[in-house]
Amino acid sequence: MLGLLLLPWYALPAGGLGDWRWLAGYPDQASAPAWLLALQHGRLWLWPLLLPPLIAWFGQQRPPWLIAAGITGLAYLFAQGFAIDHKGPVLHWLGGLGAGGQPGFGIGAALYGLGCLMLLSLGLARRGWCRGDAFVIAAIGGIVALIVLFVFFPVLIVLVEALKAADGSLSLGAFWQRLADTSIWSLACLSGPQRCGVAWNTLFLALLVGAGTTILGLAFALIAVRSAFRYKPLLRALTLLPIITPPFVIGLALILLFGRSGAVTTLMTDWFDIPRSRWIYGLTGVFIAQLLAFTPIAFLVLIGVVQGIAPSLEEAAQTLRANSWTTFRTITWPLLRPGVANAFLLGFVESLADFGNPLVLGGNFDVLSTKIFFAVVGAAHDQGRAATLAFVLLAFTLGIFWAQQRWLGRKSYTTMTGKGDAGIALALPRRVAITAYCLALPWALFTAIIYATILFGGFVKAVGRDHSFTLAHYLAGFSLEWGARGLQFTGAAWDSFWVTLGVAASAAPLTAAIGILTAYLLARQDFQGRRAFEFGTLLSFAIPGTVIGVAYVMAFNTPPLELTGTGLILVLCFVFRNMPVGVRAGIASLSQIDKSLDEASLTLGAGTSGTLRRIMLPLLRPAIVAALVYSFVRAMTAVSAVIFLVTAQYNLSTAYIVGRVEAGELGLAIAYSSVLILVMILAILGIQRLVGERRLGRRAPEQIAPFGAG
């Protein structure tokens, strides 16, 4: 009733509540609530919206009446929204409903839809669904509604294009013709110098990256948690650096080092007479860049899993006279399987969806994401082909998701039972420790060299040509002046910087909250459609960012959800693009926590929401940190999804940097990237300090033995 009677029904020019003139007595249609629009402005189709709240009110909150009110309200809300657009009724027989058309939904319509959804949830709870737990049903309903609106709906709009023929009609034959194209599935590279199809290129690269990031992430996690390495903070910082860098900047640094005129290439030519080549362009270069970019994701997932292994289980094995290697192989490694599977899944899907690295370093090595981009923005502008290629990506994601579930099986990976535990981790077996050090330390050194190159490029006049020291690039982007009105931000990059910071700060907590809540529902609740629900949370992660951007433009450019050109569409894009990381990290951590902790809390009358807040969240701190850090930095560095969504008012840092690269201003682009890296380092430290660390033991941990012990 609040959404119907008080708040603006339609979106105001600034979006949502951004324009406060509705508080001054609704001076125009844009700020009026639904009842006033129906009474004074001819929008008669809004009157039936009063019926569902009245049904719930007069039904004395009986379950059938609540369910009927919720379903009726949601159905009619979206039916009238899609049936009437800017120009008026879409169907001719609706022409007598009222004068004029309508813009997209505003805050009043959003609150009305939420109220109807909660009425439906309350009715189902009183009918005994999910053991009558209203919180669980409301959470499931809310997340399903959000996924349908902001994942399935825009993706469906794009995929419909795959079934369209050249004349715009739906044709299954046209879809099969595009899908069977030899450029997608050709295996000519196995028998000659020809290139393989783009689908096989993408799949092979994703498998390599998934395995590589998982191995490196596990090596870093074992060193960070289970060793006495002196420089753990530095190693951890180097591990996280790639995730806070725009992908094309890593590609640019690799070109500056290993390109035909790169520093390392020149050195090898001068010292060892090795001829210059273009080896960095293609599969090798993209693989290295993606390893740099996505290893931190695997590390963030795996470090929580490694921390969650109870030392008492390993101590029990050694008490039974198993040596350190046998203990690791039979106890530790099996308990790591959920984290390893989730890390591989994220690395695989990230590689499928990556756009920046293949664009910069791909050369003649084509992948699906770049092919989709050029199908959308190229001269051909073939949205049908782009949608078909997106369908192939979905098939790959579904296949790896099924394989992951088969590998994990139905085994239990619980290690936290609520019983007392010393919390003192055992030393790693010598062979495992040596392997971890041999993998992690050289990679950390390589990462440091990459970032030294990036930092160096911001302080020289022209990278590769004139290495004279200068601050001109930083001053051009971030200069400050003191004027009559006080401190003024006069640099050209400030506007995009503040917009990016605001969008990232808004998206990060929403992403973490929805992701962790979704993980809790998937890991702790049993309801029909749970597998489909889990796959739905991965759908936006599997689609390339370019397709997500185009899908959001197509889906949200007209009523009823008219969001294009607002800052809200950027926040929503980041939330549902990055949510799967929080989901996978949360599931990996929850698989180690015994359900008896939940049951004990519920038995004592805490309720599901109280149990989640007071019991689960403190134990899920590593997953929360992973979700917050990843969502914040990806919102600061993503380019592919938002390149279609930015506007002059809401221009993001990555779009600005891409523009500087296209204009040849590499120094300013690198300087801007350096500033972003610094800001995100401070943000990560702040997030870790705010969330804190999970504490599982009651005794102060003693110094862990060196890696060679045992």
Look at residue 219 in the predicted model and tell me its pLDDT. 93
**Which pLDDT belongs to residue 582?**
84
Count of positions (residues) in the chain: 710
Q: What is the dihedral of CA 466, 469, 472, 478, to 10 degrees?
A: 130
Measured torsion, CA atoms of residues 486, 491, 496, 497, in degrees rounded to the nearest 10: -70
The amino acid present at 318, given as its one-letter code, is: Q
- CATH 1.10.3720.10-classified regions of the chain: 182-452, 460-691
DSSP lists the bridge partners of residue 98 as 43
Residue 593: what are its φ and ψ, rounded to 5°?
-100, 125
Fold classification of 182-452 is MetI-like fold (1.10.3720)
pTM over cut 0.85: no
Confidence of residue 274 (pLDDT cuts 50, 70, 90): confident
Tens of pLDDT along 164-209?
A: 777 777 778 888 888 888 889 988 877 777 788 999 999 999 999 9
pLDDT at position 703 is 47
- Check residue 694 and give its pLDDT: 61
CATH number, domain 460-691: 1.10.3720.10
pLDDT above 90 coverage of the chain, percent: 24
| Closest C-alpha to 302, from 236, 214, 228, 210 | 214
Q: Which of 480, 499, 463, 538 is nearest to 653 (CA)?
A: 499
Q: What is the pLDDT of residues 37-81, one digit of tens each?
A: 888 888 888 999 999 999 998 887 789 999 999 999 999 999 999
Lowest mean pLDDT among 85-99, 299-313, 593-607, 672-686: 85-99
